[in-house]
Structure 1
Amino acid sequence: MSPQAAAAVFTSRALAALGEVCDLAPLPVLDDLSTVRAKEVLADVEVLVTGWGCPRLDADVLAAAPRLKAVVHAAGSVRGHVTDACWERGLAVSSAAAANALPVAEYTLAMILLHGKHVLERARDFARTRARDNWLLTTQDVGNYRRTVGILSASLIGRRVIELLRPFDFDVLLHDPYVTPAQAAELGVEWVELAELFTRSDLLSVHTPLLPATRGLVDRTLLGAMRPGAALLNTSRGAVIDQDALTDVVRAGRIRAVLDVTDPDVLPADHPLWDCPNALITPHLAGSQGSEWERLADTAVDEVARWAAGDGFAHPVRRERLAFLA
């Protein structure tokens, strides 16, 4: 992983814990697997603990690591570094995607509740007027009672959001082509077709991984079918949504948007969404940050300990599931 990622995720406590379950190669971390030192380390490695900034584990890297049997990723997606050569070698692969899903789901819940109360707009108006409105004149579109929340994709994050919504008085809809209506009912939600998800939701939260089949999935037609005043929340990847179409409907004031991701990941400085009063753009902060990195490290340590004990991974990544994973 990159030195910056290592310093953020693997504190001295985490490194000590890792050292208790394996013989840890001396620091510094490897961020270039083609160097002389890297090849010396790789010659004896049985498990690679990886993170953000890990180089691709291609055939040349694997040739320098004849004893390598497993990869434990202390972050989410393994697409950037686990190559076909790893699967052909039969390496066991683990990911901390489940751990990284937790803060994203928490961010999503917070934004659902805040947007239901129209907190951002009302706080801005309060700062401008310095006077409270008559709260008894609050319109019926404000509030979180019996609102309809749509979840696009029962991913790790989507499922956790569904769990977090259970204590509240929401009607929750789900669209996921790989989930049946019966399975959705077991999750406590109503399965609907994609178009119906957009027409019925007061707030729609996107949790679809970015895959060839999902690029631009949320198109102009779906966005145009949303209820006036509805909110769209995206914590997945910006390219899942048609950015131009989203910009048009938000600028027209038809819907509100909470975007932790955009396409491109940082919008140009003159992009019109920056100045839209009904859009909130956050800097891709929903995933693990700060104290939450400790959870990623703890997950990686636990996985190494399980592998060393012969118990297998608690969070394995299967090659046959890659087509459905971020």
Structure 2
Amino acid sequence: MTHDAPRDVWLPLPPDGIDGLPEGPNYLFYDGGDDGTQPFPGDPADCAVYVVPYLKRQSVKVRPLPLMRNLRVVQTLSAGVDDITGHLSDLPAGVSLCNARGVHEASTAELAVALTLASLRGIPGFVRAQQEGRWQSRFHPALADRSVLIVGYGSIGAAIEDRLAPFELARVVRVARSARTTERGPVHPIAELPALLPDADVVILSTPLTEATRGLVGKDFLARMKEGALLVNVARGAVVDTDALLGALEGGRITAALDVVDPEPLPADHPLWHAPGVLISPHVGGPTSAFLPRAERLLVDQLGRYVNREPLRNVVLTTGAASD
């Protein structure tokens, strides 16, 4: 950093609690506050690196962006950056937008497997029976010998497959934006989904939310799923057309386990709460005990790279670039 360059770094974690932050920047704490009205910790025009508050409403996350005229880096603590990409016009040219790759893989993959097992093995029914004092024994499908289709084979998709490995699956089929080959086998392009869906017993969504994936799981997608298949969503709620999903659930064709929904949070009177064959968790794929140590390691490394003018990690895009 040059002497007259902006030096402020806004962190949503107390700076004095993070060991190893590099010297040089002026670290300021800002997490938006519980109601989104926390005063700015300094002049937004002096902010060089903005680490976006985690688990806050979008309006809280983007509130200071129009005033950050000298910003260099926006670092999210979420795997997705869709809350920010809709506000790129508020940013000056040359800002690096970075995601939190490496932070959420472990906990999100754990939840994907937990939701899959809980739904297949009927855990919600056991909980309800326990509350009513009923001994309810019945046959349930196992994960063993099933075919699992992972839609969105980035770092989280790969972490999900890592955790599925011991379950004696019949096969795992991987889908991403474009075809490639991994050590575990081929990754199919998303264009091949229509041909792959009818053979999958479990479809796990771990794709980022982009214009290409918004509403990806609609009527045609759901109609191509195998009768009795399970849809697991740990991606973003808007990847799924909620009305289409409701139709498929109410018709009994499929079941679903959802950590994310659209709208979110789901209103108390929304019919999805009571749709047959659905298990809903309240977007808890990331916020676990695994989050803080991994987030702190990412910030220390990323800020060290920034201070030393080394290439940043996890750059999703740079504002003003041709691809924007």
Flag whether TM exceeds 0.5 (same fold): yes
Residues 1:175 and 2:175 aligned together: yes
Question: Deviation of residue 202 (structure 1)?
Answer: 1.0
Structure 1 residue 262: deviation in Å? 1.4
Q: Deviations over 1:211-252 (max 9, x none)?
A: 222222111122123223211111112222121121122122
Identity %: 27
* Structure 2 CA distance for aligned equivalents of residues 38 and 11 of structure 1: 15
- CA change 1:177–1:298 in 2 (3 A) is closer
> CA separation of 1:314/1:246 partners in 2, compared to 1, >3 Å: closer, same or farther?
same
- 2:208 maps to 209
Q: 2:197 aligns to what SS in structure 1?
A: helix
Quickly say closer, same or farther: Cα 1:126–1:288, change in 2 above 3 A.
closer
Instruction: Answer whether contact 2:74 2:96 (CA < 8 A) is retained.
Output: yes
Q: 2:53 aligns with which of 51, 54, 77?
A: 51
| Distance in 2 (alpha carbons) for counterparts of 1:240 and 1:309 | 38
For residues 194 and 286 of structure 1, the distance between their equivalents in structure 2, rounded to whole angstroms, comes to: 25
The equivalent residue for 2:77 is 74
Q: How does 1:1-326 map to 2 (within 5 A)?
A: 6=12, 9-10=13-14, 12-14=16-18, 16-18=19-21, 20-27=22-29, 38-39=42-43, 42-43=45-46, 46-52=48-54, 53-55=60-62, 61-62=68-69, 65=70, 69-81=72-84, 83=88, 88=93, 90-125=94-129, 128=132, 130-131=134-135, 133=137, 139=139, 142-170=141-169, 171-180=171-180, 183=181, 186-188=183-185, 191=188, 193-289=192-288, 292-319=291-318
What secondary structure does 2:232 align onto?
strand
Deviations along 1:240-274, whole A, 9 cap, x unmatched?
21211211221222211111111211333233321
- SS across alignment from 1:166: helix
Is the Cα–Cα contact under 8 Å of residues 74 and 300 in structure 1 kept in the other structure? no
Matched residue count = 301
Aligned partner of 1:107: which letter? L
**Ranges in structure 1 where 5+ consecutive residues have no aligned partner:** none
1:34-85, Cα deviation, whole Å (9 max, x unpaired): x99733x744x554444343436767522xx3xx544443334445447357
Superposition TM-score, scaled by structure 2 size:
0.76
Q: CA–CA distance in 1 between the matches of 2:65 and 2:95?
A: 12
Normalization by structure 1: what TM-score? 0.76
Q: 8 Å contact 1:56–1:80 — kept in the other structure? A: no
Separation in structure 2 between the aligned mates of residue 251 and residue 155 of structure 1, nearest angstrom: 32
Q: 1:126 to 1:148 in 2, by over 3 A?
A: farther
CA pair 73-142 structure 1, distance change in 2 beyond 3 A: closer
Q: 1 CA distance for matches of 2:143 and 2:224?
A: 22
Counterpart amino acid of residue 26 in structure 2 = L
SS at match of 2:211: coil
Does structure 1 conserve the Cα–Cα contact (< 8 Å) formed by 2:148 and 2:172?
yes
Partner Cα separation in structure 2 for residue 289 and residue 323 of structure 1: 37
Counterpart of 1:188, as a letter, is: G
Q: Which has the higher helix share?
A: 1
**In structure 2, do the counterparts of structure 1 residues 222 and 292 end up closer, same or farther at CA, with 3 Å as the change threshold?**
same
AA partner of residue 94 (structure 1): C
Say if 1:260 and 1:286, in contact at 8 Å, map to a contact too.
Answer: yes
Q: Contact between 1:75 and 1:296, CA under 8 Å: does it hold in 2?
A: no
CA shift, 1:176, in A, is: 2.5
Supply the distance in 1 between the matched residues of 2:242 and 2:208 (Cα, whole angstroms).
16
What is the CA-CA distance between 1:117 and the residue it aligns to?
Answer: 2.8
Residues of 1 paired with 2:131 and 2:77: CA distance?
A: 42
Q: Structure 2 vs 1, CA of residues 298 and 21 (structure 1 numbering), >3 Å: closer, same or farther? A: farther
Question: Would the aligned equivalents of 1:206 and 1:233 in 2 still touch at CA under 8 Å?
Answer: yes
CA–CA distance in 1 between the matches of 2:32 and 2:129? 51
Gaps of 5+ in 2: 1-9, 55-59
Is the Cα–Cα contact under 8 Å of residues 107 and 290 in structure 2 kept in the other structure?
A: no
The residue matched to 1:287 in structure 2 has which SS? coil
Question: Distance in 2 between the 1:323 and 1:75 partners?
Answer: 25
